[in-house]
Amino acid sequence: MELLDGNKTSKEIKLEIAEVVSKRKADGKKIPHLAAVLVGSNGASMTYVGAKVKACEEVGFKSTLLQLEENISEQELISKIIGLNNDPDIDGYIVQLPLPKHIDEHKILLAIDPRKDVDGFHPENVGRMALNLPCFLPATPGGIIELLKRYKVQTESKHAVVIGRSHIVGLPMTILLQRNAYPGNCTVTLTHSKTKNLEAICAEAEIIIAALGRPEFVTAAMVKEGAVVVDVGITRVPDPSKKSGFRLAGDVKFDEVAPKCSFITPVPGGVGPMTIVSLLNNTLQAVQ
């Protein structure tokens, strides 16, 4: 069993990006500028955005945090987004999800300029991804693909099972894993809450992408010997033995699944750091 170490790999990629930024600076070229829009004060969202801003500093990007009140109107938020679309100094930006319930996320995503959509959520980028055209890949799936590539995980002709059909992870992963490229060329099965015989389907998989947000859902009985398991989930689980009162758990029951795997991602330290460097790569692509 080998760990797909997102912490280690993301540090290597950050060094590569920092080198490119340093050269751009020396050549008098524009320094990449990433902006983040945060609505309200959701604790998890603030943590995620803080990590992204810190990552920008580490690689030499400029960053801007636009923190807005929880009760901002949908139209006011769209106006802020149009301002970012028209700001030539901003190369890419993200609107941190989830948004307050009174705001329609689809309307907000449609308002984002696809050329600055470094989260890769705009329908134009999703469509280009489906057609295997140049685009911004969604950050988490893009990070997973890069992790598989860096560890030289064989994907061609493999049966991959994706658990979860979200537009952020599950659906894009099915597109990327089946495309005629490396990593790719898999036969992909997409499963979800209405799938029958899920355990049996997973047990036949050579690659499992678990992205359903249910802690320790994937058990050893669902994993065949030698499988590659990528755990996208991260949930706070109450744990009185911890000072914080909780521990972080993935969608995979790591201790019992790991011994059966050829490769597996840890939680934390697997997919999360790769999501952030994927965002940085997209921003670099935007300025280039």
Query: Encoding tokens for residue 45?
Result: 């969202």
Among residues 52, 116, 158, 253, which one is catalytic?
52
Task: Tell me how far apart the alpha carbons of residues 237 and 234 are, in angstroms, rounded to a whole number.
Answer: 9
Residue 52 known to be catalytic: yes
Crossing angle (nearest 10°) for helices 170-178 and 123-130: 30
Task: Tell me how far apart the alpha carbons of residues 258 and 266 are, in angstroms, rounded to a whole number.
Answer: 9
Among residues 119, 158, 251, 253, which one is catalytic?
119
The phi and psi torsions of 252 (rounded to 5 degrees) equal: -115, 135
Q: Quick one: which H or E segment has residue 261?
A: strand 261-264
Q: Quick one: which H or E segment has residue 66?
A: strand 62-68
Residue 119 known to be catalytic: yes
What single-letter DSSP state applies at residue 117? B
C-alpha torsion angle, residues 202, 207, 256, 221 (rounded to 10): 20
The phi and psi torsions of 226 (rounded to 5 degrees) equal: 85, 5
Nearest Cα residue to 239 out of 247, 230, 248, 231: 247
- Assign 233 to helix, strand or coil: coil
Question: Any residues with CB less than 8 A from the CB of 225 and at least 6 apart, and which?
Answer: 260
CB distance 205 to 227 below 8 Å: yes
CB distance 128 to 121 below 8 Å: no
Among residues 5, 14, 91, 96, which one is catalytic?
96
Catalytic residue set: 52, 96, 119
